[in-house]
Structure 1
Amino acid sequence: MTKKIIILLLLLLPVVAYAGTDNNEARSIMQQVDARDDGDRSIADMQMVLIDRHGKKRSRTIRSYGLDRGKDRYNLMFFLAPADVKETGFLTYDYDEAGRDDDQWLYLPALKKTKRIASSDKSGSFMGSDFSYADLTKRRLDDYTYSFNKEQPEATVYGQKTWVINCLPSSERVIEETGYTRSMLFVRQDNLMVVRAIYFVKHGGLRKYFDVKRMELVDNIWTSLEIHMTARKGDDVVHRTILTLDNVRYNQEAVDEKLFTVRTLEKGL
């Protein structure tokens, strides 16, 4: 009996070793995604279109600024139109350090008040869109474990080969902050861009589908120019958001650390 168990274990060892190698390779890909040059000192004009289940549309016009500060990332957004959201501002300090909560503030001009976004609120909708506050920060590498999708380790998306990588949160804290119990990422093999993702929402039986419909090289940096986020319940579309970027510029001298403050957020452009 003991001999049979030993033989069985010996047979299983290569499988276990392969699984470990597989997971290491998936993590290595995500490390490269994390390290990919996504531009610095950026300015972009954005159009956000919210579409409800009946096809009714609402549009928002946004000006966005981005700055790298070491391994951390600062982002600042101002809503320019329509009138009901004009001068609303959003500031994010996106920290790379594991275990450190990102800082986010939302300025509401009607109330003349700045609201700090608590960690427990980051899974909530950003300005009525299908993007959450957590979606607007960078995924921390160590907050997840990675593996290739067993059923479909590779897939073709818009004619390009991708790796399909499963991401499991490493703690309950990550689930509570993002609102996702797991996610599936489609990473383009030629440029390391996440071009599609499926997010499994903890509450409400929803799934969210992230899709990069258009990207281009801007100043030799691969840049997403049209992004769709769709919330589905079963086969039904609950809501959809289309985010379009235009006039993207990198390495702008006007974008410096002084811009990314709560004071600027409240003062506006």
Structure 2
Amino acid sequence: MKLFNRILATLALLALLPAVQAQVPREYLLGPGDIIRITVFQNPDLTTEARVSEANAVTFPLVGSLIVGGLTVPAAEQRIAKALADGGFVRLPQVNVLPVQVRGSQVAVLGQVSKPGRFPLETFNTRLSDMIAMAGGIAGTGADVVIITGIRGGKAFRKEVDIAEMYLHNTTDDDILLAGGDTLYVHRAPVFYIYGEVQRAGVYRLERSMTLIQALATGGGLTPRGTQRGIAVHRRDAAGNIQTLKPGLSDTLQADDVVYVQESLF
């Protein structure tokens, strides 16, 4: 009866394994916060579910503390098997490590991306562009700048990377390597507002170096009652006060500018 129960437990584990491994790549590096289930074939008493500590270690029966953080799943299996064999506890041990919860080597991607969430660092050299691609890319409402925060060398780390500039001017040094625990944030794209005597009043994305005449074109142009002489731009200054400006058509707009086109008096 005991042998039969062991066989059932092994079959259940094998049935579960493909689904979990499909979500966690074999080259994934274990890290602090990960929870793993360790089993040894024909030794059910050694089955252990453990959390990888901040010191990258887990405690396993018979062998005590073992460093598994920074190892792939196969490498962790080999290290545990070697410890069991070297200690003479199990002859030719067959060890299986199954990630139950993956937390330590994840990056959070927030804000204006297609698929915000937490994503594993599948390899040790995952770069910013790789992670943005995993999140489905920057959404149409997202800005070009990605803000990266995390820890480097025990100190708080923050960097802003202009994705468009990185590719337009080949500044590949900005495509930095990511580390477990990093957070990427994409703010909404800057916008401007246009109303009054224009064909399509509303809120629009402010493109780089966008001029007033380009903003008018985005709004569909003036209505027959509109006049270029009656165009005003309302802009908030550093103190939070609203200024009313009379810019030229070739002047550039700023984020959150409000463009108003007056009706012609004649």
TM-score w.r.t. length of structure 1: 0.22
* Structure ranking higher on relative contact order (CA contacts 8 Å, 6+ apart): 1
TM-score w.r.t. length of structure 2: 0.22
Larger gyration radius, structure 1 or structure 2: 2
